[in-house]
């Protein structure tokens, strides 16, 4: 049997990571058997390569091999694709058709993204794994097949089982031998080797000068998280080989080719540019609370400054507009939503009680250091806070929902849904 290095050479695998070597060793040991294998790993980590290792090193290597992306086949046709159908079994079935399990009889079928299979198709697959039997769509005749199944997924199948999205019996039947393909960020010692290989390939292909990385660029390359794994690294190498005029690439140049959304940031998750489309009510509430906290800190600093400098009516009146602005921003109802009558009656805060009579006799002025203060009970409802925040954003942007959604940190589709749910039309 071939050793690990020979397997790497044969299948074009680059790297010396212990985790990678362990995955190759598992594939080598399980290949001669007929045991089902579940390959787990992130998108772009090279799961399909391991399915080829298992097939080519098995007794089925002279049989057929087919890779099926389960996530790319519509739910209505997946059963027909896998198990075939009879003529007239559904609209458009003008003739009988063999499925993959019939075509690959005696070989190996690789089911990529197996976690995307519908539940009824999972039941059919389980029967094939247990007895080798299947039935074409629209038929009642049981047929036999001798196919080895190698499955792969980039999701946590066990979590899908707990959520009822994946059959537990199928999970244990597929997971006879689990094979974990490590993500690129756990193979840091392999990143530069892979990059050099890809760059050499692309510079030869496009007949361009070779590319070299400075030491700081190499450090950036290995410290990056590579969420797209080997596939993403290959794409970056091709971009640099084709587009970059400088053939000695430093960290500054390399930084321009790394996607912004995945660069390291110290900001909380709520404020980062995120790829997901929906934000929960909790995220919106956190944003409100962070904004309120910042305003309160500014207000406290101002009060301390006034106390340290000694407070008189003239110095306090100098800061009155700013205090009023902060008051409006942290008040239970956003200041922008007050009607003209409400704005007139909004209290203005004055520290020195003796200055009340000096301000045009306005009865709405409220002294800060009064001994008796009326306590206003503020609504703590998440729905009210969310509704107020959406109204404030819409009014600020004059009803332009796209701009309001950007201000709130949510997608425009989410904003439309929340406007409908909260009856804010």
Residue 139 has pLDDT above 50, yes or no: yes
The answer to whether residue 375 is domain-embedded is: no
**Residue 205, by phi and psi: left (phi above 0), alpha (psi -120 to 50) or beta?**
alpha
> 56 with 134, same domain?
yes
Same domain, 391 and 357: no
Residues 213 and 317 in one domain: no
User: Is the domain of 154 the same as that of 254?
Assistant: no
Inside any domain, residue 133: yes
Residues 190 and 167 placed together within one structural domain of the fold: no
Number of domains in the chain: 4
- Which residues span the domain enclosing 328? 281-367
Over residues 399-405, mean pLDDT: 83
Mean pLDDT of the 216-245 span: 94
Is residue 161 scored above 50 in pLDDT? yes
Q: What per-residue confidence (pLDDT) applies to 364? A: 47
Q: Are 359 and 386 in a shared domain?
A: no
H or E, element range at 182: none
The tens digit of pLDDT for each residue in 295-353 reads: 677 677 777 666 666 655 555 566 666 666 655 554 444 444 444 444 444 444 444 44
Residue 399 placed within a domain: yes
Same domain for 63 and 155: yes
Lowest mean pLDDT among 94-98, 130-134, 417-421: 417-421
What is the domain-level CATH number for residue 244?
1.10.8.60
- 303, 347: one domain: yes
- Give yes or no: residues 8 and 47 share one domain: yes
Domain match, 18 and 156 both: yes
User: Is residue 271 a part of any domain in this protein?
Assistant: no
Question: Same domain, yes or no, for 171 and 201?
Answer: no
The predicted-structure confidence for 76-111, as pLDDT tens digits, reads as follows: 899 999 999 999 888 888 899 999 999 999 999 999
Q: Positive or negative CA dihedral for 418, 420, 422, 424?
A: positive
Taking CA atoms, 367 is separated from 30, 320, 348, 422, in Å, by 81, 12, 9, 37
Q: What are phi and psi of 365, to 5 degrees?
A: -75, 130
Point out the least confidently predicted range of 127-131, 249-253, 399-403: 399-403
């Amino acid at each position: 049997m071939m050793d690990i290095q020979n397997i790497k050479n044969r299948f074009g695998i680059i790297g010396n990571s212990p985790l990678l070597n362990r995955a190759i060793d598992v594939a080598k040991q399980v290949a001669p058997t007929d045991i089902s294998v579940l390959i787990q790993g992130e998108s772009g980590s090279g799961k399909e390569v391991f399915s080829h290792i298992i097939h080519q090193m098995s007794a089925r290597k002279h049989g057929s091999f087919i890779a099926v992306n389960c996530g790319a086949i519509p739910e209505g046709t997946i059963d027909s694709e896998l198990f075939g159908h009879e003529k007239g079994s559904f609209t458009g079935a003008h003739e009988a058709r063999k499925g993959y399990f019939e075509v690959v009889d005696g070989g190996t079928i690789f089911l990529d993204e197996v976690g995307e299979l519908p539940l009824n198709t999972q039941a059919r697959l389980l029967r094939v794994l247990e007895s080798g039997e299947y039935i074409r769509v629209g038929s009642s005749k049981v047929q036999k097949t001798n196919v080895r199944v190698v499955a792969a997924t980039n999701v946590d199948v066990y979590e899908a089982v707990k959520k009822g999205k994946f059959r537990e019996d199928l999970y244990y039947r597929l997971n006879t031998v689990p094979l974990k393909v490590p993500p690129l960020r756990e193979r840091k010692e392999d990143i530069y080797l892979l990059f050099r290989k890809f760059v050499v390939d692309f510079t030869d292909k496009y007949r361009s000068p070779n590319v070299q990385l400075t030491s700081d660029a190499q450090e950036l390359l290995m410290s990056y998280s590579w969420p797209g794994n080997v596939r993403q690294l290959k794409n970056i190498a091709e971009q640099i080989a084709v587009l970059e005029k400088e053939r000695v690439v430093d960290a500054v140049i390399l930084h321009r080719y790394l996607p912004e959304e995945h660069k390291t940031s110290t900001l909380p998750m709520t404020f980062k540019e995120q790829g997901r489309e929906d934000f929960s009510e909790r995220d919106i509430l956190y944003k409100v609370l962070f904004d309120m906290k910042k305003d309160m800190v500014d207000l406290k600093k101002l009060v301390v400054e006034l106390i340290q400098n000694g407070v008189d009516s003239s110095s306090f009146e100098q800061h009155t507009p700013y205090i009023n602005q902060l008051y409006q921003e942290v008040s239970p109802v956003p200041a922008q939503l007050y009607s003209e009558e409400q704005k007139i009656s909004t209290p203005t805060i004055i520290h020195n009680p003796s200055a009340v009579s000096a301000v045009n006799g306005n009865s709405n002025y409220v002294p800060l250091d009064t001994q008796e203060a009326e306590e206003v009970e503020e609504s703590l409802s998440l729905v009210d806070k969310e509704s107020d925040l959406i109204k404030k954003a819409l009014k600020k942007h004059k009803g332009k929902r796209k701009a309001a959604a950007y201000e709130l940190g949510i997608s425009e589709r989410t904003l439309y849904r929340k406007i409908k749910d909260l009856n804010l039309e």
